[in-house]
Amino acid sequence: MENKYITISKEAIDNALGIIAIILYWTIYIWQEKLSTVGDYRYFPYGLHEVFSIGYLLVPAITFIWLTRILIRIRKKEYRKKNRILIISLSVLLILQIGYVQKLSQLVNSSILTEAVEIPDEFHIVINRGEGTVTLSTTPLVTALIKTDGTRYIFNYDFYKDTPNEGRLNYISQAGE
């Protein structure tokens, strides 16, 4: 009689759980980053957000070590075909993680004392910077409080080196507060 059941090794289950853990980490990290830009910490405590910030370098390092370990084992033993999907998955995850960390390294933080020039819509503020203007993305709650009558504010924002005229507002305070 033929066995109709597929058997899955403990190693395959561990590998699948590891891949799922990496994907879950990045999903939660990016989601939390998006929420934190508007000061929304209702889904996770702020302390957890700080722990996730430490992991954005640690998780790619662990992925690299895991991939290296698999490749060394494959070199010693000839079971490349058995681990092909794992190698491809880890390689793609490592490339994506390195790309994300590389993109974060291009992020620049700036603070400037200036006025809001324009509010084109409820999600953007245009501020005056010495060399021109910068369009900052923000929330409708913030744009509703900003005045374009010459009131000076201290704007703290992030922008990428390749797009210095577009940024994301971190916080704002009225000059003199």
Query: What ranges do the domains of the chain cover?
Result: 10-105, 108-174
**Each residue's pLDDT tens digit, 10-23:** 888 888 899 999 99
Helix (H, G, I), strand (E, B) or coil at 91: helix
Angstrom distance (rounded) from CA 174 to CA 152: 6
Helix (H, G, I), strand (E, B) or coil at 171: strand
Helices 10-36, 84-105: axis angle to 10 degrees equals 20
- Which long-range contacts does 53-57 make (Cβ < 8 Å, 24+ apart)? 55/25, 55/29, 56/29, 56/100, 56/101, 56/104, 57/101
What Rg, from alpha-carbon coordinates, does the chain have?
A: 23
In the predicted model, is pLDDT for residue 1 greater than 60?
no
**Each residue's pLDDT tens digit, 64-84:** 898 888 888 777 666 666 778
Task: Tell me which fold the domain 108-174 belongs to.
Answer: OB fold (Dihydrolipoamide Acetyltransferase, E2P) (2.40.50)
